[in-house]
Amino acid sequence: VAARAPPAPVRNLAATATDSAVLLTWSAPSTDNGSAITSIIVEQSLTGGVFTPAGGAIAADATRVQITGLENGQTYSFRVTARNAAGSSDPAIITETPRTTPSAPLRFVEITPH
């Protein structure tokens, strides 16, 4: 039995920037439209550029992926697509800018002589 339609898009796509990386998280599509999700496709681009595969092989039930090797200060667009036997969902798209995160502040302890 062939799938009736591609799955719904992934939901709640969020991005968290870190040093030279972005963590993407999402929720599974609300419906697979009669055919199990077979893969999740994650792509990246410098905003306005061509999308290319990112994150390596991603399991069909995955809900997060860390994209590494990014350039701090550059804004990237990411799109996440669910796929089943009937095709691909509409992509969920988000932008984020990786950045160096400041280190934790030093803790000063006052020492008083006795």
Q: Which residue has the higher pLDDT, 100 or 111?
A: 100
Res. 108: pLDDT tops 70: no
- Residue 97, φ and ψ in degrees, nearest 5: -120, 110
Cα separation, 50 vs 11, in Å, equals: 23
pLDDT band at 68 (very low <50, low <70, confident <90, very high): very high
- Distance from the first to the final alpha carbon of the chain: 84
CB atoms within 10 A of CB 82: 25
pLDDT digits (tens, 9 = 90+) for 2-58: 558 999 999 999 999 999 999 999 999 999 999 999 999 999 999 788 999 998 889
Q: Are 90 and 9 in contact (CB under 8 A)?
A: yes
* Chain mean position to CA 110: 44
